[in-house]
Structure 1
Amino acid sequence: MDILDRLRAVLGADHVLTGAATAKWQEDWTGKYTAAPLAVLRPATTAEVAAALRIAHETGTPVVPVSGNTGLVGGTMTTGGLML
């Protein structure tokens, strides 16, 4: 089972966004920084956050926290990692 399958099993498919569904997270508000995340995760509970982080750790997949996407230095942009 790959990482996306594992995440979908824990979070539900509707909460693991991939491909075109990640478009609004692929660029910061300034348009200066871009990303190509493996997935955008939308956990509903703290237990789901913990489970997603555990899976990321086990697979060596980077994770960046994203809130309002209003940073000034592109710190939430990732290529191949997970946005949480």
Structure 2
Amino acid sequence: MFALARLVLILFVVLSVIYVGLSIYSRSVRRRKLEDEWDEAIGEGEGDREAYVQEGLKVYDHSLRRKLILGVYVVPIIVIGTIIYMTNFR
């Protein structure tokens, strides 16, 4: 039982680090795309670029892509659970 608790704790820590890294990377990619979109469409000096980027990031925060990153927690747990089930009950 103690080994399972240790596995779950280590798995949670590792998956949390991966989740945070993916979230930061995905948000920075979205920010860069918004900045490039602003530069192409509107150009330099006209309007408020930072406000445009912030509004785009608010939309991103509620997007499906952001929620799919939570699969970092779900997929490994399902795979490990399936492996444990297959080795013990088949």
* Higher RCO (C-alpha under 8 Å, 6+ residues apart): 2
Normalized per residue, which structure has more strand? 1
TM-score by length of structure 1 reads 0.26
Higher Cα Rg, which structure = 2
Q: Could you tell me the TM-score, scaled by structure 2's length? A: 0.25
Q: Which one has a larger percent helix, Structure 1 or Structure 2? A: 2
